[in-house]
Structure 1
Amino acid sequence: MKQFKITPQILEFEHCQEVAEHFQIGKGDLVFISDRTYQQYFTDTIGDAAYRVNYRNYVTGEPTDVMVEAIAADIKDYQFNRVFAIGGGTILDVAKLFALKQTVPVVALFNKELEITKDKELILIPTTCGTGSEVTNISILELTAIHQKFGLAVDELYADYAVLVPELLSDLPMNVFATSSIDALIHAIESYTSPKASAFSQLYSKQAMAMIISGYQTIAKGGPEARKPLLKDFMIAATFAGISFGNAGCAAVHAMSYPLGAVYHVPHGEANYALFTAVYKTYQALDPDGSIKELNAFLAAILGCEANAVYQEIETLLGHILPKKALRDYGVTRADLASFTAAVMTKQTRLMANNYVPLSEDQVLAIYQQLY
């Protein structure tokens, strides 16, 4: 039985001032927002009585359990009934946990040893065009004790409102735009070929793919500045992809990227990009006649190439957005490849269950070796 749902109410505003006026952010609100975003967009509209958390005071890079526990300790005396997150996927994923009645100890929460109850309203406002976290029930953290990224996926992590404001993307640097939008493209592609995909989730996948690839083609011709008029489209496409993978799941690309991100702190979208085409070429070799055949035909029509050249064409196109690196260029050693493989096969079973076709330990290792 296939299931499909969109849980958060999705709101769209053109400007940040409208958001603050609509929600009247102030006393009783916990607001996750960087100082930079606050100063640029919300200085006059978020009330002083709100408790602001600048996550950059707690961590550089990807979110961790240590970061969450430090924030929880600092806010323990503040009474709040709404949680706002205005930021990238890091901020959104962390904020979700604070809508729960009990957040710490984090490892116990992620191991589902705590009772998971949502008792606060959650409003998520992305400032990038990639993670789709605003419409998913997933929070991803690095659990430092085991140096692995882990996901908690429970319905209590769904937002009440997902709020899209294109103004927040207006000064997004090209490198952040690149890594986040590539992440969204991979969300759409992996969820399309997931065994959990349905006609409904695939509809969102296809629309996201079409919008992102079309935008990349414009950027490839016009240069990085050509992205500026397309930012609203990319934001919507990322949310479409979030709806799709929130229902059908991501798979081996994400699973195999997590050790790279956790150990060498590679940005999430870039780590996915490093693995993406090699995983799909492996899928293609193992079973060319399932949903990957439909995917390739769809992508070929957008890219203007033959179906058997899709992944080479995508690599060429993405090269205009973000240069691709070999794993060794991130500092990965040959010894890491076996430990990465073991981590994927033992710690990322939630994601590997969504593979287009099952991948063995030897096949996962071979992909890493190919990309080294």
Structure 2
Amino acid sequence: MLVDYSLKMPKNIFAGEHALEQLETILSKDMKKVVIFTDKGILGAGLIEIPKQILESKGIDYSIISEIPAEPNYHQAQEMIDQFKKENADFIIAVGGGSVMDVAKLASILATDAYTVKDLLDDPLLAKKQVTTLMIPTTAGTGSEATPNSIVAIPEKELKVGIVNPEMIADFVILDGRLIKKLPKPIAAATGVDALCHAIECFTSTKANPISNTFALEALDLIMNNIIEACTNPEALEAKNNMLLGSFYAGVAITSSGTTAVHALSYPLGGKYHIAHGVSNAILLTPVMRFNEPAIKENLAKAYDRVVRGGNPDLSVDEKSKYMITEFERIVELLEIPTSLKKFNVPESELEVLVEAGMQVTRLLVNNMREVTPDDARKIYLEVL
């Protein structure tokens, strides 16, 4: 556990069944121009109607950028940012999942022509906050609303990378379960397991500390005890609000700790095969946890004591640890998320390409409690091929 640690998080968070109406108190008539970042699916579902109505009632000029693709590469992100620059906006509202929020966060620090997204790939700390931001997640979730991270693909390397800059942390966050009420089950499940990965990875990271553990454990408790209900019952608003809160807490944990080998080894799957980020993490969650178990079983036992309702306190550390890994596996199976790369036509002949790409994600691999060698990565990938 780290000796020195810190925490950075959004300045203002509103959560609960009617949190979206708090936009009334956030918006100021002094604002000259607001840009709403979203995507076509969110736009079509009518999820930005309340923000639009509030903006109109206050007489605030706004425009909408809705062409953001799922899991964009850095060229696509730059296109959206160039479009944003023309608006001369002084406030950003992002309504969407991780991709929407990630692009909006990049826009907030790239509102001038001083730097581009490509420049930040080499030096993420170049840019400073230019425009105030509000993040409204419509999945639970990527945790992007809480983090200083923006994930973009690099097509020429067939890899995804994280641009990390504290200036991208949101100024405002709204968590409202109504916005995920109609989320299709596959998306709810994949993003929910992504949040689960954030929580358990941060709790078992070499950078774990008392601050991150506080948020990671609470996130794990909320997610594991609500994810099935939230993903399978459209009317389970309490479970959905709990998932939004759990996802947010897991995102906060990332800012103080960091994810590990699950995320590191999943990035090539998204970058080369365009497998959804949450699905990639779900595929690798159990294999990586089993690999890590010798180094993290005490952590997993503590997680068991926190999250398992009616658990047996007399179980040994080994028994609690194995229970948790089995429970992760059960959740993925119950949510019908693929657990193999066969469905995505990833041939075994690509094994060495995956290993080489995965081992490049040193930013996250250094967080793993158990060292991951190329041979270890090879064995983990072989489990899911």
TM above 0.5? yes
Letter in 1 for 2:136: I
C-alpha change, 1:228 and 1:165, in structure 2 (3 Å) is: closer
Equivalent runs, 1:110-259 vs 2, <5 Å: 110-112=121-123, 115-216=126-227, 218=229, 224-225=233-234, 227-259=236-268
Give unmatched runs, 5+ long, in structure 1.
Answer: none
Equivalent residue number for residue 335 of structure 1: 349
Contact 2:288-2:380 within 8 A present in 1 as well: yes
Deviation at 1:227, TM superposition (A): 4.1
Residue 71 of structure 2 corresponds to residue 71 of structure 1: no
Deviation at 1:58, TM superposition (A): 4.6
Q: Deviations over 1:28-48 (max 9, x none)?
A: 222202322455444423347
Deviation at 1:314, TM superposition (A): 2.6
Higher mean C-alpha displacement, 110-119 vs 93-102: 110-119
Alignment equivalent of 1:271, drawn from 256, 272, 280: 280
Whole-Å Cα distance in 2 between the matches of residues 42 and 168 of structure 1? 12
Deviation at 1:154, TM superposition (A): 1.5
The percent identity for this pair of structures is 26
Q: Deviations over 1:197-246 (max 9, x none)?
A: 112211211111111111246579xx544744411111111111111122
Residue 375 of structure 2 corresponds to residue 370 of structure 1: no
Whole-Å Cα distance in 2 between the matches of residues 39 and 207 of structure 1? 30
Residue 43 of structure 2 corresponds to residue 31 of structure 1: no
TM-score, structure 1 normalization? 0.89
Contact 1:211-1:237 within 8 A present in 2 as well: yes
- Give the paired residue count: 365
Whole-Å Cα distance in 1 between the matches of residues 94 and 282 of structure 2? 26
C-alpha change, 1:172 and 1:3, in structure 2 (3 Å) is: same
C-alpha change, 1:88 and 1:41, in structure 2 (3 Å) is: same
C-alpha change, 1:186 and 1:114, in structure 2 (3 Å) is: closer
C-alpha change, 1:199 and 1:45, in structure 2 (3 Å) is: same
Q: Deviations over 1:94-113 (max 9, x none)?
A: 10011114475322122118
Whole-Å Cα distance in 2 between the matches of residues 255 and 329 of structure 1? 21
C-alpha change, 1:109 and 1:294, in structure 2 (3 Å) is: same
Equivalent residue number for residue 349 of structure 1: 362
Residue 371 of structure 2 corresponds to residue 358 of structure 1: yes
Higher mean C-alpha displacement, 72-81 vs 329-338: 72-81
Deviation at 1:86, TM superposition (A): 1.1
Letter in 2 for 1:22: T
TM-score, structure 2 normalization? 0.86
Contact 1:123-1:160 within 8 A present in 2 as well: yes
Contact 1:58-1:70 within 8 A present in 2 as well: no
Deviation at 1:184, TM superposition (A): 0.7
Deviation at 1:22, TM superposition (A): 2.2
Contact 2:101-2:144 within 8 A present in 1 as well: yes
Deviation at 1:322, TM superposition (A): 2.6
